[in-house]
Amino acid sequence: MKVNANSIKVGNVIIYQNQLWNVLKKDHTMPGKGGAFVQLELKDIVNGTKNNIRFRSSENIEKAYLEDKKFQYQYDQGDEIVVMDMRTYEMENFPKDLLGDLVVFLQDEMEITVNYCQDNPISISLPDTVICEIKETQGVVKGQTVTSSYKPAILDNDVTINVPQFVNAGDKVVVKTEDLTYVERAK
């Protein structure tokens, strides 16, 4: 199925040069001169090679037909994660590599989606947002406005993100898993 390059998300699988590629990162850029483009970091599903490809925003990309199955994360077991099928309640194991860098955002009983292509698991998608606790952050710097300045903060899973000045250590925040950005304080 052909989709616009802007609608591709991290975790999607596309067909590029007759191979299946997993989208690891996405950057949308609108330069001052010329047309907007989408820069994708791709990983070949078969042999694991990585590639950075630039697509025009108006370009159509072939998205692979995938079957999605819902699972609930249970626990880690070495280099694998153990999950429970939400329909049959059977336990299955998947390699952590299917998650990539997002493996640190797995939380107990989190609902995840495993993408299958021709009955083979090829990637795992997390929810759009997760709630994490701020483990450590810098203090407020006087003279900086609250609305426009951000400061680095270390989450409870040791990932560093930028948060507004009013966020402190111990606060729970909502983080967007697609690009690891702060959304809001958790309610």
> How many domains is the chain built from?
3
Q: What is the pLDDT at residue 175?
A: 92
Q: Which residue, among 33, 49, 50, 32, has the nearest Cα to 41 in the 3D structure?
A: 50
Residue 80 confidence (pLDDT): 92
What are the tokens at 178?
A: 């697609």
User: How many Cβ atoms are within 10 Å of 182's Cβ, its own excluded?
Assistant: 18
Contact present, 168 and 134 (Cβ < 8 Å): yes
Cα–Cα dist 177/45, whole Å:
21
Q: Is the pLDDT of residue 131 over 90?
A: yes
The residue range of the domain holding 77 is: 67-125
Domain end, chosen from 63, 79, 106, is at 63
Same-domain check for residues 14 and 46: yes
Band of residue 33 on the pLDDT scale cut at 50, 70, 90: confident
What is the DSSP annotation of 17-66?
Answer: TTEEEEEEEEEEE--SSS--EEEEEEEETTT--EEEEEEETT-EEEEPP-
Which of 63, 93, 113 lies at the terminal end of a domain, its last residue? 63
Q: Summarize pLDDT for 52-100 with one digit per residue, the tens.
A: 999 998 899 988 887 889 999 999 988 999 999 989 999 999 998 888 7
CATH number at residue 106: 2.40.50.140
- Looking at the fold, whether 9 and 59 belong to one and the same domain comes out as yes
13, 44, 63 - which closes a domain: 63
Contact of 20 with 12, CB cutoff 8 Å? no
Q: What is the pLDDT of residues 5-29, one digit of tens each?
A: 888 888 788 888 888 888 888 888 8
- What CATH number should be reported for the domain holding residue 57? 2.30.30.30
Split at pLDDT 50, 70, 90, the class of 141 is low
